Chains A and B, each alone.
Chain A
Amino acid sequence: MAKLKAGSRLKSAVCDTQVMVIAAPAGDVDLRCGGAALTELSVTAPRGAIHPDHKNGTQIGKRYVNDDGSLELLCTKPGEGSLAVGEARLKLKEAKALPSSD
Chain B
Amino acid sequence: MNLMMLLEMAAASAGEREALVCEGERWTHGELFAAAGRAAARVRASGVERVALLDVSSPAVPIALFASAWAGRPFVPLNYRLTGPELDVLIERVRPALLIADRERAAALGRREGVQAVAREDFLAGVRAPGPAPDPDWAMEPDDVAIWLFTSGTTGAPKAALLRHRHLVSYILGSVEFMSASEADAALVSVPPYHVAGMAALLSSIYAGRRIVQLPAFSPERWLALVESERVTNAFVVPTMLARVVDALEAGGGKPPRTLRALAYGGGKMPLPVIERAMRLFGQADLTNAYGLTETSSTIAVLGPDDHREAAASDAPDVRRRLSSVGRPLPGVEVEIRDPDGKPVPAGQRGEVCVRGEQVSGEYLGRASRIGPGGWFPTNDGGFLDEAGYLFVEGRIDDVIVRGGENLSPGEIEDVLLGHPAVADVAVVGVPDVEWGEGVAAAIVLKEGAQASAGEIQAWVKKHLRSSRVPQLVRFEPELPYNEAGKLLRRRVREALARTS
Contact = CB atoms under 8 A, between A and B. Distances in A.
B330 A60 contact: no
Contacts, number: 78
A7 B1 contact: yes
Contacts of B141: 7
B173 A63 contact: yes
The binding surface of chain B is classed by DSSP as mixed
Nearest to A59: B178
Interface stretch (A31-39, A45-53, A84-92, A93-101): A93-101
Interface in B167-196: 173, 175-179, 187
B68 interface: no
B75 to A, nearest CB: 17
B299 A102 contact: yes
Contacts of A61: 9, 13, 177-179
A95 to B, nearest CB: 5
B208 A100 contact: yes
B12 interface: yes
Interface in B1-35: 1, 5, 8-9, 12-13
In this complex, the member of A74, A99, A101 whose beta carbon has the largest number of chain B beta carbons within 10 angstroms is A101
Contact of A98 (B1, B9, B330): B330
B298 A7 contact: no
Contacts of B9: 60-61, 76-77
Contact of A60 (B13, B187, B208, B331): B13
A102 B207 CA distance: 12
B290 interface: yes
B267 to A, nearest CB: 10
A102 B298 contact: yes
Interface of A: 6-9, 20, 22, 60-63, 74, 76-77, 95-102
14 contacts: A6-B1, A7-B140, A7-B142, A7-B165, A20-B1, A60-B12, A61-B177, A63-B173, A98-B176, A98-B304, A101-B266, A101-B290, A102-B200, A102-B236
Given A61-B9, A98-B175, 7 more contacts: A7-B1, A74-B173, A76-B5, A98-B304, A98-B330, A100-B208, A101-B302
